[in-house]
């Protein structure tokens, strides 16, 4: 069986290029296409790790979610004082700073599910509201380089909502309105103390009956908001000292803090 003759060199009009020369020309075109430049240290922080594929983000999110759940678990059964309480929102905030809002919400949800298995749904809800939400909120403001005053103010409102959610959930489990019960008991104690002071002649009789439930509730609300402001300030200090070492810096504190 005869094979067809090879076409003449000039029949097709194409020039034969050896494979080695073709590869070199391809690399030359690639180098001219890509523009390499040195990294500028004065630019914004390098966030190129967010462009990587999912495994790194998934591993960090799961690790920090389990860390947050472990901190809550240890603080519940073996409370060492207020030290661990400052760290409750930081894992979610760190996830937000490194991987964005979706990963932060996933870490909050995973930590809540893990705590619901380890400690039951009520205590997992007490972690989610407000501490997990605080972590996402702080990460939101820190990524946008908001000032400490703004993030502390919004976080204090969220912490106050979390306090009343905790009180409502406890009232639901107990079957009694704990807010009314506590404020009533405090009012009775204040009236009893005023009566004793009047009996000793320290105060005038006109102060009797001035401690009412509404005034006590207003005072309790103000004290809750003040305690949340102090708590958020300590959280910011802890984040400023710790997260910067992990490559996720938060906005600089006000000048009076640095002084």
Rounded CA gap, 196 and 258, in Å?
Answer: 47
Length reported for the chain: 259
Residue 35 reports pLDDT greater than 60:
no
Q: Quick one: average pLDDT of 69-94?
A: 91
Place of tokens 């079957």: 175
Q: Quick one: average pLDDT of 112-134?
A: 93
Q: Provide the pLDDT confidence category of residue 90 given band limits of 50, 70 and 90.
A: very high
Q: Quick one: average pLDDT of 154-163?
A: 95
- pTM attached to this predicted model: 0.74
Report how far apart, in Å, the C-alpha atoms of 48 and of each of 6, 34, 78, 138, 164 are: 53, 17, 40, 22, 41
pLDDT tens-digit map of 48-70: 555 554 688 889 999 999 999 99
Residue 30 reports pLDDT greater than 80:
no
End-to-end CA distance of the chain: 96
- Residue % of the chain over a pLDDT of 90: 48
pLDDT tens-digit map of 215-243: 788 888 999 999 999 999 999 999 999 98
Q: Quick one: average pLDDT of 181-196?
A: 80
Q: Provide the pLDDT confidence category of residue 5 given band limits of 50, 70 and 90.
A: low
Report how far apart, in Å, the C-alpha atoms of 63 and of each of 94, 103, 106, 136 are: 11, 12, 12, 16
Rounded CA gap, 152 and 162, in Å?
Answer: 15
CB of 64 closer than 8 Å to CB of 91: yes
Query: So what's the pLDDT on residue 186?
Result: 82
Rounded CA gap, 93 and 142, in Å?
Answer: 8
172 vs 246 pLDDT, higher one: 172
pLDDT tens-digit map of 124-144: 999 999 999 999 999 999 999
Domains, the chain, ranges and CATH?
Answer: 53-175+227-258 (1.10.1760)
Query: So what's the pLDDT on residue 38?
Result: 42
Q: Provide the pLDDT confidence category of residue 17 given band limits of 50, 70 and 90.
A: very low
87 vs 7 pLDDT, higher one: 87
CB of 155 closer than 8 Å to CB of 232: yes
């Amino acid at each position: 069986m005869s094979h067809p003759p090879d076409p003449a060199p000039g029949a097709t009009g194409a020039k034969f290029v050896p494979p080695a020369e073709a590869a070199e020309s391809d690399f030359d075109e690639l180098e001219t296409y890509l523009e390499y430049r040195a990294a500028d240290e004065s630019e914004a922080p390098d966030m190129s790790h967010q462009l990587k594929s999912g495994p790194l983000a998934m591993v960090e999110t799961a690790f920090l979610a389990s860390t947050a759940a472990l901190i809550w678990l240890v603080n519940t059964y073996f409370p060492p004082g207020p030290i661990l309480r400052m760290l409750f929102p930081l894992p979610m905030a760190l996830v937000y700073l490194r991987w964005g809002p979706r990963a932060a919400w996933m870490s909050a949800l995973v930590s809540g599910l893990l705590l619901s298995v380890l400690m039951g749904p009520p205590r997992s809800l007490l972690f989610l509201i407000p501490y997990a939400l605080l972590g996402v909120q702080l990460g939101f403001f820190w990524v946008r380089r908001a000032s400490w005053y703004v993030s502390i103010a919004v976080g204090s409102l969220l912490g106050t909502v979390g306090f009343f959610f905790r009180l409502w959930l406890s009232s639901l489990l107990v079957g009694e309105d704990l807010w009314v019960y506590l404020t009533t008991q405090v009012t009775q104690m204040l009236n009893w103390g005023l009566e004793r002071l009047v009996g000793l002649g320290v105060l005038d009789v006109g102060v009797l009956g001035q401690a009412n439930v509404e005034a006590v509730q207003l005072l309790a609300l103000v004290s809750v908001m003040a305690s949340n402001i102090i708590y958020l300030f300590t959280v910011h200090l802890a984040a400023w000292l710790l997260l910067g070492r992990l490559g996720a810096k938060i906005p600089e504190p006000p000048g009076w803090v640095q002084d």
